[in-house]
Amino acid sequence: MIVKMTKYTLVVLASGREGVLERLQSVGLVDITSSDWSPSEADRALIAAIEAHREALDSPLLAEGASSHATPYSTGVEAMEHFVAARRELGVVETELAAEHRALADALPWGDFDPEKLRALLDAGVGEEELLPMVLPADAETSVAAQAQAAALPTRSAHQIESHIAALEAERTSWKQVLGRVAASRDKIEKDGAALADQLRFNQAHSGGTPAADDSLVVMEGWARRADEERVEAALDADPSLIYLKASPTPDDITPVELHNSKIARPFEFIGDLYAKPRYGTMDLTRWFAPFYMLFFGFCLADCGYGALITAGGIYLALKGKGGMRAIGTLSIYCGAAAVVFGFFAGSLFGIDIKAWFPGVQKIFFTSNVLFAGALALGVFQILFGMILRAITTARAFGLKYALATIGWITVIVTGLAMMVPPALGLDLGIPKPVFYSVGGAGLFLMLFMNNPGKNLFVNLGGGLWNTYNDITGLLSDSLSYIRLFAIGLSGGVLAAVFNDLAFGLSPDIPVVGQIVTLIILAIGHGLNLFMSTLSSMVHPLRLTFVEFYKNAGFEASPRVFNPLKKSDKL
């Protein structure tokens, strides 16, 4: 759900603005509006330094150089300086090593010799053909002589090149030891980067505000969680040099947004944040799309084995990961478990048809027709559910009369489905047709005549007809989008079965060798299929969520996220 916010208008002395902001920063609960902020040269330098710290913390070089015996640097600044130098010099060393290994390959056919004496002979007029027997060992093979004849005369002997390679490798080891110390200083780097980020946020807040009273006063806008009002106001009351006004947000305010969901729904905030957070005053859809996303993922992957692997990976991340990775691990557990359950009912285990393993319960498994119809049914249900949420949100925000047109659409769709679907399945609801016609007619009336409350009959009718045309075509295309769930799940299962056939069909009939070839084909094939199927199972449910569901639920994106002025040790 969206956390309730309180708006504060602060009137402070221009000369005391920094002191007020420092006090608010120490409290860490107030988001100061800085919509007109334009970064200065100092701010741009801060941004570059913050990104450099993030890049260092994410660099694989630190993971490679991590050592429990390394001594950390005294400060994050010193660690960053050594990281930048080590990364630069390692790049140079690696480039030189690659060039030296190529030079060594060219020099090896010539054996060991003194390049200066050889050059003196060349200068004296001795040809390369005459030099070749002098340089090569007496017992050199013909192939070696041919290589030397074809290669350009090296300027250094193989021994000299090998010595230089050894020196370069020693230098590389030295720089990697530096990276080991940098890796041991991760906490200091992160703390230093967090301090830079806090300074940037302070600069942004300092640029906010409107001058007043001949620039002697500054009027600033701040936001805080409603639950933190007492602590915020205690800090404000402690400063006699400022005056503040307190108010609730209005629809015209650009109110910052923060979400607070249950422990179960919280990992799915990662999915929603890939698009945007909801605008303040609307509905947080996280807990409502979460079960659909999980179900759609299982529908697309549709394999017990793949689902089990993803679940195992999620458990590892949830136990060993930190921060956001732990949330991703929990999300992977949910989605992987859904794939296991759905994969069982689809009858697939690493592409193996497991339906034959349960001869007495064949009816519990899904056929292709059931999967196709199920994908469409899920789509229609999610679209209807989104429309219900939109009606609720509209009624809460503006009043019931503004939601009547949406309620009319829901009524017409549900009535039409109730009239068509049960008879197609051989069911009789026992409801007379006049009841359906009456309910559907009432819904049609709301659709056509209640889409613009307060306007005359003909304006509503014209707008209702136009909306009906747009909504019918939109709902039809939205519903058909869900067929991809069936297609993606089917294609992943087919590819898995193909790799199984290749593994057992192409392996030679040689003991041990045949089994090794089979395992290699299975590992590569299923690895590729798992990657592609998992990617598809993530991306398409994202599309269904952000396009079909968000549109029908009336989602509105927030232009601003709650970001209080504070001091932090984490970047």
Asked if pLDDT for residue 428 goes beyond 70, the answer is: yes
**Per-residue confidence (pLDDT) for residue 148, from 0 to 100:** 46
Asked if pLDDT for residue 448 goes beyond 60, the answer is: yes
User: For residue range 526-559, what is the model confidence (pLDDT) as tens digits?
Assistant: 899 899 999 999 999 999 999 889 988 889 999 8
**Per-residue confidence (pLDDT) for residue 341, from 0 to 100:** 92
**Per-residue confidence (pLDDT) for residue 486, from 0 to 100:** 87
Please state, in angstroms and rounded to a whole number, the distance separating the CA atoms of residues 503 and 514. 9
Q: Summarize the confidence of residues 125-142 as an average pLDDT.
A: 54
Q: Summarize the confidence of residues 285-290 as an average pLDDT.
A: 93
Please state, in angstroms and rounded to a whole number, the distance separating the CA atoms of residues 232 and 227. 10
**Per-residue confidence (pLDDT) for residue 38, from 0 to 100:** 83
Q: Return the SS3 of 418.
A: helix
User: For residue range 205-215, what is the model confidence (pLDDT) as tens digits?
Assistant: 888 888 888 88
Residue 364's identity, in one-letter code, is: I
CA 181 to chain centre: 30
- In 247-303, alpha helices (H): 269-273, 286-301
Q: How far is CA 529 from CA 254, 375, 526, in A?
A: 45, 22, 5
The kind and range of the H/E element at 515 are helix 513-543
**Cβ count near 503 (within 10 Å):** 19
| Top-confidence residue, 316 or 409 | 316
Out of 274-283, 361-370, 428-437, 469-478, least confident range: 469-478
Asked if pLDDT for residue 141 goes beyond 60, the answer is: no
First to last CA, the chain: 26
| Top-confidence residue, 50 or 401 | 50
Q: What is the CA radius of gyration of the chain?
A: 35
Q: Is the dihedral of CA 512, 516, 518, 522 positive or negative?
A: positive
Give the residue among 221, 213, 215 at the shortest CA–CA distance from 37. 221
Give the residue among 318, 332, 330 at the shortest CA–CA distance from 530. 332
Tokens found for residue 3: 């956390």
- What is the band of 512 on the pLDDT scale with cuts at 50, 70, 90? confident
Q: Summarize the confidence of residues 159-182 as an average pLDDT.
A: 90
| Top-confidence residue, 569 or 563 | 563
Residue for token digits 């190529």?
102
Give the residue among 289, 218, 207, 245 at the shortest CA–CA distance from 39. 207
**Per-residue confidence (pLDDT) for residue 445, from 0 to 100:** 78
**Per-residue confidence (pLDDT) for residue 139, from 0 to 100:** 52
> Is the Cβ–Cβ distance between 540 and 296 less than 8 Å?
yes
**Per-residue confidence (pLDDT) for residue 302, from 0 to 100:** 87
Please state, in angstroms and rounded to a whole number, the distance separating the CA atoms of residues 417 and 268. 31
Please state, in angstroms and rounded to a whole number, the distance separating the CA atoms of residues 454 and 471. 22
Residue 212, CB half-sphere, CA atoms under 13 Å: how many? 12
> Is the Cβ–Cβ distance between 279 and 556 less than 8 Å?
yes
DSSP state of 366: P
Q: Which sequence spans correspond to the domains of the chain?
A: 1-36+208-256, 63-112+157-188, 266-552
Tokens found for residue 247: 């108010």
Give the residue among 547, 409, 549, 402 at the shortest CA–CA distance from 472. 409
**Cβ count near 296 (within 10 Å):** 31
Asked if pLDDT for residue 307 goes beyond 50, the answer is: yes
Residue 149, CB half-sphere, CA atoms under 13 Å: how many? 10
Contact partners, residue 235, CB within 8 Å, separation at least 6: 23, 24, 27
User: For residue range 62-100, what is the model confidence (pLDDT) as tens digits?
Assistant: 776 666 678 889 999 999 999 999 999 999 999 999 998
DSSP of 192-205: HHHHHHHHHHHHHH
Q: Which long-range contacts (CB under 8 A, 24 or more apart) does 399-405 make?
A: 401/450, 401/453, 402/453, 404/446, 404/450, 404/453, 405/446, 405/447, 405/450, 405/451, 405/464, 405/467
Asked if pLDDT for residue 144 goes beyond 60, the answer is: no
Tokens found for residue 489: 């799940």
**Per-residue confidence (pLDDT) for residue 259, from 0 to 100:** 93
**Per-residue confidence (pLDDT) for residue 150, from 0 to 100:** 46
The mean pLDDT of the chain is 84
Tokens found for residue 36: 């007109």
Out of 49-53, 274-278, 363-367, 520-524, least confident range: 363-367
> Is the Cβ–Cβ distance between 386 and 553 less than 8 Å?
yes
**Cβ count near 475 (within 10 Å):** 19
Torsion of Cα atoms, 514 then 517 then 518 then 522, to 10°: 180
- What is the band of 168 on the pLDDT scale with cuts at 50, 70, 90? very high
CATH class of segment(s) 1-36+208-256: alpha beta
User: For residue range 309-363, what is the model confidence (pLDDT) as tens digits?
Assistant: 999 999 999 888 777 788 899 999 999 999 999 999 888 898 888 887 887 777 8
Please state, in angstroms and rounded to a whole number, the distance separating the CA atoms of residues 84 and 51. 13
CA 273 to chain centre: 9
**Per-residue confidence (pLDDT) for residue 146, from 0 to 100:** 47
pTM over 0.75: yes
Tokens found for residue 307: 């689902």
Report the share of the chain in percent with pLDDT over 70.
88
Residue 548's identity, in one-letter code, is: E
**Per-residue confidence (pLDDT) for residue 6, from 0 to 100:** 94
Q: Return the SS3 of 417.
A: helix
